[in-house]
Amino acid sequence: MNRRNFLNHSNAAVAAVALSAGAGAVANAATPSPSTRPTKETLAMNSTHLYDRLTRENAVLLLVDHQIGLYTGVRDIDTLELKHHVVGLAKAALALKVPVIVTTTTESMWGPMIPELAEALPGIQRIERTTVNAWDEPRVVAAVKATGRKKLIVTGVSTDVCLAFPAISAIADGYSSYAVIDASGGFSKTQVEMGVLRMQQAGVIPVGYSNVAVEILADNAAPDAEAVYAALNIPFGGLVYGLKQYFSHR
């Protein structure tokens, strides 16, 4: 073997060793040892987000565009079920003394608010607006700010626009947003799924109409508990109070 061939073979061997060492280092870096692999406990300890529960004192409910014209296009949930949920949530909020703010797009565009909701909220002023995003209407933002609460519970039709837009915008303004998915409706399953995904990516918390209310209630022995369950009108509500009455007379 001449000098040139020897050097070529030597350089190739050195390169192969270097590549092998580098691959090993990458593999070791990509695969943490059992002692350094994160666990549920360490993830929880390292989390920068601590959940602050909904209460009567920190929550406000915003109802967006529950209008007859928009309800005719809802396809992801039965409209009777949707009405049941949003009306139940509104009544529960009143029972819990949680402020309720109502806004709709101009009636000339999407029609009046659904009568069931109007009947459930006597005396509450409705903010009529032209903006697509309710959070772009200064009167809506001012009404929320006036409550002094930072936990914004939002429902809207449609889910991907009238609910998603203000819920996401409120996050940017320092609020915690909760999207009540089953008290909102969309024009297709795909649009709703994309809307919920977008909200989650922005930090909005998806909730249901009954679980968000009972989180605020917190205690089934509270004086307003019976009114809350009656408002929500969920099947197990009757069982809860049947048991309560039974044990209270023992």
Residue 230: inside a domain: no
Total domains in the fold of the chain: 1
CA distances from 118 to 53, 54, 103, 122, 221 (A): 29, 25, 12, 7, 30
For residue 220, give the H/E element and its range. none
d(C-alpha 213, C-alpha 70), whole Å: 25
d(C-alpha 62, C-alpha 84), whole Å: 17
Contact at 8 Å (CB) between 102 and 144? no
Question: What domain range includes position 163?
Answer: 59-215
What global pTM score does this model have? 0.78
The pLDDT-based confidence of 26 (bands split at 50, 70, 90) is very low
Residue among 57, 164, 72, 52 nearest 112 (CA): 72
pLDDT digits (tens, 9 = 90+) for 86-113: 999 999 999 999 999 999 999 999 999 9
d(C-alpha 116, C-alpha 84), whole Å: 9
Residue 71: inside a domain: yes
pLDDT digits (tens, 9 = 90+) for 190-225: 999 999 999 999 999 999 999 999 999 999 999 999
Output the domain CATH number for residue 154.
3.40.50.850
Catalytic residue numbers read: 162
Residue 44: inside a domain: no
Residue 167: inside a domain: yes
